[in-house]
Amino acid sequence: MTAINNPAQKLSDLGVSQPEQIAPLFAEVRARFDSESAAAHDEGSWKQFRDAWLGRKSGVLTLITDNWLKPASPELKRVVGQELNQLRARVESEIASRRAAIESGADQAALARARIDLSLPGVVRPIGSHHLIRQVLQQIEDIFVSIGFSVVEGPEIETPYYNFEALNIPEFHPVRDDMDTFYLDLPKGAPNPLLLRTHTSPMQIRTMEKRQPPVRVIVPGKVYRRDNPDATHSFMFHQVEGLAVDTDITFCDFTGTIEYFVKQFFGAGVKARFRPSYFPFTEPSVEFDVTCVFCGGSGTSAGGGTCSKCKGAGWIELFGAGMVDPAVYGFVNYDPKKVSGFAFGMGIDRLAMLKYGIDDIQVFFQNDVRFLRQFP
Ligand code: DAH
């Protein structure tokens, strides 16, 4: 018979009849208690351990009380009672301290899990940069703002009136062919056709409708044309429109302003020239050229051959401009006898390509980070 089941039996069944037999019996029970206590190292096993010893119905202490103490003869009962009291004190204090140990251990582990280690390196998030188009637009804006222009923006969806008619381009004017246009599919019965603006020029009209001279604005924005994509064409690209109208603006103010811009933007060594051209909303109209930024205007490439960018001309076409056609003033109720002014419309993408030596407009829209990273 092992000590494990002893308390389930009566002392008489265990062959105990003398008081001196009691102490060794309790020593066995204590040994069993000590080994079980050492094994209770988490909450689950601690609960089992506690119930095995202190359970009211069949815990070891209850069994000892019922089987050993209660039926004992008077001379045994005193010794068993003493031993049992000592055992109970030991069991209760040990079980309480095991619990405290387990709980503080669990707390430690939870703390360790929750602790933030401030010595670890942080998460490095890649920092983006402005797209080159945005950067070039910013440069253009800075130059014009510094000489008194303000920046306005307008709708990308326009009416034919603003995109064409009020710019002196009537319905059957041939220049509309140059601007193959995206018209919107509108519900049947919609009052007016709408289109994606083919240029930023409609904002000339919208601005003059709202403001009286003097007007000095630039208008950056996206424009759309039904062009097939290639190295210099895209169905969407960017323009900056410019408009200056006042009572005494001359052709000299016009060319002086453009030359100032060109030198600020490309560098003092670059020369500008203008050639006659045609736009329905300017008269006279011109095309501005700059000395080729790739060959320095020599027409000869570094290797000695013909410069492939300007095809040997030494000049590169930059953008269209002109003095505002008096007919346009009629659409905005300005008096053409009192006011004069100039306008220009430049392609931001084209200026960026020239300034940074980019030979394919498509790279602006592909968002390849290998390209974008070159312009941090
Ligand atoms: N709107 C013209 C285009 O997209 C560019 C242009 C030319 C704008 C002459 C102007 C201008 O304001 O005066 O082709």
- What count of residues does the chain have? 376
**pLDDT over 50 at 2, yes or no:** no
**pLDDT over 60 at 189, yes or no:** yes
The pLDDT-based confidence of 166 (bands split at 50, 70, 90) is very high
- For residue 279, report the distance from its CA to the centre of ligand 1, in Å: 7
Give phi and psi for 27, each to the nearest 5. -65, -40
Query: In the prediction, which pLDDT does 4 show?
Result: 55
- Residue 178 Cα: closest atom of ligand 1: 14
Helix (H) or strand (E) segment spanning residue 261? helix 251-266
Query: In the prediction, which pLDDT does 139 show?
Result: 97
- Give the amino acid at 293: V
**How much is the CA Rg of the chain, to the nearest whole Å?**
47
- For residue 320, report the distance from its CA to the centre of ligand 1, in Å: 5
Residues forming a β-bridge with 288 = 274, 319
Q: Stretch 60-71: mean pLDDT, rounded?
A: 93
Q: Stretch 26-52: mean pLDDT, rounded?
A: 89
**Kind of pairing between the strands at 215-224 and 150-151:** parallel
- For residue 367, report the distance from its CA to the centre of ligand 1, in Å: 28
Residue nearest atom 3 in ligand 1 by C-alpha distance: 199
Q: Would you say the pTM of this structure is higher than 0.85?
A: no
Assess whether the C-beta atom of 321 lies below 6 angstroms from ligand 1.
yes
Cα separation, 131 vs 133, whole angstroms: 5
What does each C-alpha distance from 2 to 6, 71, 181, 215 come to in angstroms?
7, 21, 102, 109
Query: In the prediction, which pLDDT does 1 show?
Result: 38
Per-residue pLDDT reduced to its tens digit, 254-282:
999 999 999 999 999 999 999 999 999 99
- Give the amino acid at 23: A
Q: Stretch 327-356: mean pLDDT, rounded?
A: 96
Residue nearest atom 12 in ligand 1 by C-alpha distance: 344
Assess whether the C-beta atom of 345 lies below 6 angstroms from ligand 1.
yes
Alpha helix (H) residue ranges in 115-241 = 132-146, 160-163, 202-210
At 117, list the tokens: 């280690």
Q: Stretch 56-78: mean pLDDT, rounded?
A: 91
CA neighbor of 352 nearest in space, from 234, 197, 217, 198? 234
Query: In the prediction, which pLDDT does 126 show?
Result: 83
Cα of 271 vs its chain's centroid, Å:
41
Query: In the prediction, which pLDDT does 43 show?
Result: 85
Segment of 39-43, 83-87, 174-178 carrying the highest mean pLDDT: 83-87
- Classify the C-alpha dihedral 83-84-87-88 as positive or negative: negative
- For residue 199, report the distance from its CA to the centre of ligand 1, in Å: 7
